[in-house]
A and B are shown apart, each in its own frame.
Chain A
Amino acid sequence: MATGYYFPHRHILGIEQLSKEDISYILGTADSFKEISDRPIKKVPTLRGHTIINLFFEPSTRTRLSFEVAAKRMSADTFNISASTSSTTKGETLVDTAKNISAMHPDIIIIRHSSSGAPNLLSRYVKAAVINAGDGAHEHPSQGLLDLMTVKEHRGTLSGLKVAIIGDIAHSRVAHSDIVGFTKMGSEVHVYGPSTLIPKDINQLGAVVCTSLEQAVQDADVVMTLRIQRERQNDPLLPSLREYSRRFGISRSVLTLARPDALVMHPGPVNRGVELNPDVADGPQSVILDQVTNGVAVRMALLYLVMGNT
Chain B
Amino acid sequence: MNTTWRIKNGRIIDPTSNTDHIGDLLIIDGCIAGPDQVAPPEVPEIDASGCWVVPGLTDMHVHLREPGAEYKEDILSGTRAAVAGGFTGVACMPNTSPVNDCMAVTVMILARAGQAAARVYPVGAISKGIEGHQLAELGEMKAAGVVAVSDDGHPVRDSQLMRRALEYAGDFGLMVISHSEESALSSGVMNEGAMSTRLGLKGIPTAAESIMVYRDIALAEFTGKKVHIAHVSTAMSIELIRSAKARGVQVTAETAPHYFTLTDEAVAGYDTNTKMNPPLRSAADREAIRLALADGTLDAIATDHAPHSILEKETEFDTAANGIIGLETALPLALVLVRDKVIDEKQLVKLMAVNPATILGIPAGTLCSGAAADVTIIDPKREFLYTEDEVVSKSRNTPFLGWQLQGRAVLTMVGGELRYSLLT
Contacts and interface: CB of A to CB of B under 8 A. Distances in A.
A283 B314 CA distance: 49
Given A120-B269, A201-B193, A113 B316 contact: yes
B248 interface: no
Interface residues of A, number: 27
B194 A138 contact: no
Contacts of B202: 137
A135 B199 CA distance: 10
Given A118-B316, A121-B316, A200 B194 contact: yes
Contacts of A199: 196-197, 203
A200 B317 contact: no
Contact of B316 (A94, A139, A205): A94
Interface string B196-218: 11111111010000000000000
Interface in A152-201: 173, 176, 199-201
A137 B196 CA distance: 10
A135 B196 contact: no
A32 interface: no
B398 to A, nearest CB: 18
A204 B195 CA distance: 9
Nearest to B203: A200
Nearest to A198: B197
Given A94-B315, A121-B316, A176 B193 contact: no
Interface in A86-113: 93-95, 113
A221 B319 CA distance: 40
A200 B205 CA distance: 10
Contacts of A118: 316
Interface residues on B, range: 20 to 34
A286 interface: no
A116 B198 CA distance: 10
A201 B282 CA distance: 12
A117 B205 CA distance: 20
A202 interface: yes
B71 interface: no
Given A200-B192, A200-B203, A233-B187, A117 B317 contact: yes
Contacts of A95: 314-315
Contact of A116 (B193, B194, B269, B317): B317
Interface of B: 187, 192-194, 196-203, 205, 269-270, 314-319
22 contacts: A93-B314, A93-B315, A94-B315, A114-B318, A115-B318, A116-B317, A120-B269, A120-B270, A121-B315, A135-B200, A137-B200, A137-B201, A137-B202, A138-B199, A138-B200, A200-B193, A200-B203, A201-B194, A201-B197, A204-B194, A204-B198, A235-B187
Interface of A: 16, 93-95, 113-118, 120-121, 135-139, 173, 176, 199-202, 204-205, 233, 235
Q: Which 6 A-B pairs have the closest CB atoms?
A: A138-B200, A117-B270, A201-B194, A116-B200, A137-B200, A115-B316
Given A120-B270, A233-B187, 16 more contacts: A93-B315, A95-B315, A114-B318, A115-B318, A116-B199, A116-B317, A120-B269, A121-B317, A138-B199, A199-B203, A200-B192, A200-B193, A200-B194, A200-B197, A200-B203, A201-B194
